[in-house]
Amino acid sequence: MKLMAKNSLFAILLRSPWWISLLVAAVLIVIGLAALPPAYAPFPVFAAIPFLAIAGIAAWKQRGKPSPARVEQTAAALAALSWPAFADVLEAALRRDGCEIRRLSSGAADFEVTRAGGGRALLAARRWKAAHTGVEPLQRLESARADAGAGESIYVALGAPSAPARDYASRHNIRFMDAEALARLLPAGVPQAPARQ
């Protein structure tokens, strides 16, 4: 059950930076206090309460979210890497995040990722630079996941997936690791790839 329409004011504010809702609440209070007689002073404060709540919810949801500039900078730095360097950086970041990593030699998936809680996923990252992702690589990844008995699949892509690819991914429990997710995974920026031994 949906609580609010996708393009309602509150839904838009939830997707916007949290401080915008706080600013709307402050403007409501200031204008209300300036325009209304003192006897009605509590009303603008009451009118601002939903916006203050939205600001709190948005701040909670956006904690740790990288800025658009940071996402763009991370995407550009990762796109400049070669496959071996990118694979090393991604593997090191996933290990820092508490995952056990095993490299795979199959063409459909590049890593087997095991989380501390025991969840296992196959991760495909070799086409991270592709401008668009279609259904075919997702189908290969899903087939490899089913053969390996992993719980989920993760597809790394800096470019946008096509609408059919998004639909296929949602039907088959495939998560996309996009530029924003990579910027979260690499909070200190894109490090130099570790030296291979």
Between the CA of residue 160 and those of 79, 98, 130, what are the distances in Å? 14, 27, 9
- Tokens 């820092």 sit on residue: 96
Where does the pLDDT of residue 1 fall: very low under 50, low under 70, confident under 90, or very high at 90 and above?
A: very low
Q: Structural domain tally of the chain? A: 2
Mean pLDDT of the chain: 85
For position 7, what pLDDT does the model report? 74
Question: Is the confidence at residue 126, as pLDDT, over 50?
Answer: yes
CATH classification at residue 153: 3.40.1350.10
Q: Is the pTM of this model over 0.95?
A: no
Q: Are 161 and 89 members of one domain?
A: yes
- What are 120's strand-pairing partners? 114
HSE, CB side, 13 Å, CA atoms: give it for residue 137: 23
- Tokens 């763009």 sit on residue: 72
Other beta carbons within 10 Å of 4? 11
Q: Are 50 and 99 members of one domain?
A: no
One-letter amino acid for residue 30 of the chain: V
Question: Is the confidence at residue 188, as pLDDT, over 70?
Answer: no
Contact call for residues 133 and 161 (beta carbons, < 8 A): yes
Question: Is the confidence at residue 161, as pLDDT, over 80?
Answer: yes
* Domain stop point among 61, 80, 104: 61
Q: Are 78 and 127 members of one domain?
A: yes
Give the long-range contacts of residues 59-66, CB within 8 A, separation 24 or more.
Answer: 59/18, 61/14, 62/17, 62/18, 64/184, 65/180, 65/184, 66/180, 66/183, 66/184, 66/187
Q: Are 169 and 84 members of one domain?
A: yes
Residue ranges making up the domain that contains 122: 68-185
